[in-house]
């Protein structure tokens, strides 16, 4: 275990879980990541290993077959997995968010139906808010569900669906007409259970194909299409329409801690690669780590890794305590994603020309890190959330 990114006051169970995950990452993920990522191959065997360890049920309550662990435990696990390969952490992130949505907002029937199967990883989750013509402006969604007796009829398209192909339970945020003047109260989350694969998955519902990306490969990212898709009213998350926006924002808020954790994992790996290479590569008769320019760069990188990890842990612990943590989650996500990008670029520069070669792992990290700047809300969105929270807290009394 290295000096950086250590977490104080962990329980024995948390320590054991993290030790097991780190060993799995070192033995099963890092040696395979390059080949799978360059081939854009879904990590089936790795996912099966995570199922065997119980990672898919990490935060699901024990009464439903999960481990009942905290957000902090999950975030630290995500950090370890992202250190190995960020795409694998993406497999469990959307699953975790859907499990969180059902645990916090689902009806007793929805919890009893979905959570036990999610805990084993036999049912794997994904979620979607975005659409082809919108990004951060969630209020502008156009995909619409119209009530028809005991069913809803959904028409429209969704975009940027991580795990869209391989997930078997998808939470979709769509527009419903609840008669409210606020668009945020006219949205509903539906739970759609489907089979893995592309093409038509259910009558009127299809996953057209994968979106080709510059990085974050191996994990499938798709769009989704609804054309007269009928779904029972019992598939409304929580049983009552019009609450979807607030449910999804709760999920995204904890998801921001996950993205922060992923940023920490990527930054840790980029630093590990840089400091190892800097001690092996020689110029002017000595390892480049002994040149002050490189030594100072390593010092800056390590400080950023430590700062991001500390902020991420604080946000997770605030959530676990029951305190409001929207500002802290935004800060953690902002700092960790920006620092991950900076540390990765610095590692790339330390590698010199070799960093541009696909034989070196840093080349992959250079393509993965930018995703963290936009996933679960761009840095600009985080600044908006942070500033609004601060202005409320420090409201002028003049």
Catalytic residue list: 376
User: And the tokens for 171?
Assistant: 């939470």
Using left for φ > 0, alpha for ψ between -120 and 50, and beta otherwise, residue 116 falls in alpha
Query: Are 74 and 56 in contact, with CB atoms under 8 Å apart?
Result: no
Crossing angle of the two packed helices 244-280 and 326-351, in degrees rounded to 10: 30
Using left for φ > 0, alpha for ψ between -120 and 50, and beta otherwise, residue 352 falls in left
CA distance 289 to 270: 15
Among all chains, which residue has been given the structure tokens 């360059």? 38
Beta bridge pairs of residue 157: 225
H helix runs in the chain, sequence order: 12-24, 30-38, 44-53, 71-84, 86-105, 108-120, 244-280, 292-321, 326-351, 361-372, 379-393
CA distance 240 to 151: 13
Nearest to 80 by CA among 14, 137, 153: 14
Q: What's the DSSP call for residue 56?
A: G
């Amino acid at each position: 275990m290295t000096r950086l990114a250590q977490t104080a006051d962990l329980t024995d169970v948390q320590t054991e879980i993290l030790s097991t995950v780190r060993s799995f990452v070192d033995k099963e993920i890092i040696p395979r990541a390059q080949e799978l990522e360059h081939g854009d191959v879904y990590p089936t065997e790795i996912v099966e290993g995570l199922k065997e360890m119980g990672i898919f049920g990490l935060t699901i309550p024990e009464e439903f077959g999960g481990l009942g662990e905290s957000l902090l435990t999950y975030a630290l696990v995500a950090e370890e997995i992202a250190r190995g390969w960020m795409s694998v952490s993406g497999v469990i992130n959307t699953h975790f968010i859907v499990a969180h949505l059902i645990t916090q907002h689902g009806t007793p029937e929805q919890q009893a139906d979905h959570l036990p199967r999610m805990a084993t990883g036999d049912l794997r989750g994904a979620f979607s808010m975005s659409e082809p013509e919108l990004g951060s402006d969630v209020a502008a969604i156009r995909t619409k569900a119209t009530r028809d007796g005991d069913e809803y009829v959904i028409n429209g398209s969704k975009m940027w669906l991580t795990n869209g192909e391989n997930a078997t339970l998808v939470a979709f945020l769509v527009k419903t007409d609840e008669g409210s003047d606020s668009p945020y109260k006219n949205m509903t989350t539906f739970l759609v259970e489907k089979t893995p694969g592309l093409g038509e998955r259910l009558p009127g519902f299809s996953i057209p194909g994968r979106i080709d990306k510059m990085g974050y490969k191996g994990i499938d990212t798709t769009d989704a299409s609804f054309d007269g898709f009928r779904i029972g009213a019992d598939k409304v998350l929580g049983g009552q329409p019009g609450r979807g926006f607030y449910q999804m924002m709760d999920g995204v808020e904890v998801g921001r801690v996950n993205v922060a954790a992923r940023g920490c994992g990527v930054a840790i790996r980029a630093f590990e690669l840089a400091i190892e290479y800097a001690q092996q590569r020689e110029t002017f008769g000595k390892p480049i780590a002994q040149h002050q320019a490189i030594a100072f760069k390593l010092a800056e990188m390590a400080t950023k890794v430590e700062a991001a990890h500390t902020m991420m842990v604080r946000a997770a612990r605030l959530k676990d305590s029951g305190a409001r943590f929207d500002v802290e989650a935004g800060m953690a996500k902002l700092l960790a994603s920006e620092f991950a990008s900076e540390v990765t670029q610095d590692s790339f520069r330390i590698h010199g020309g070799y960093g541009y070669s696909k034989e070196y792992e840093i080349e992959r990290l250079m393509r993965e890190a930018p995703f963290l700047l936009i996933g679960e809300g761009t840095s600009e969105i985080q600044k908006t959330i942070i500033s609004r929270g601060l202005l409320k807290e420090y409201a002028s009394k003049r």
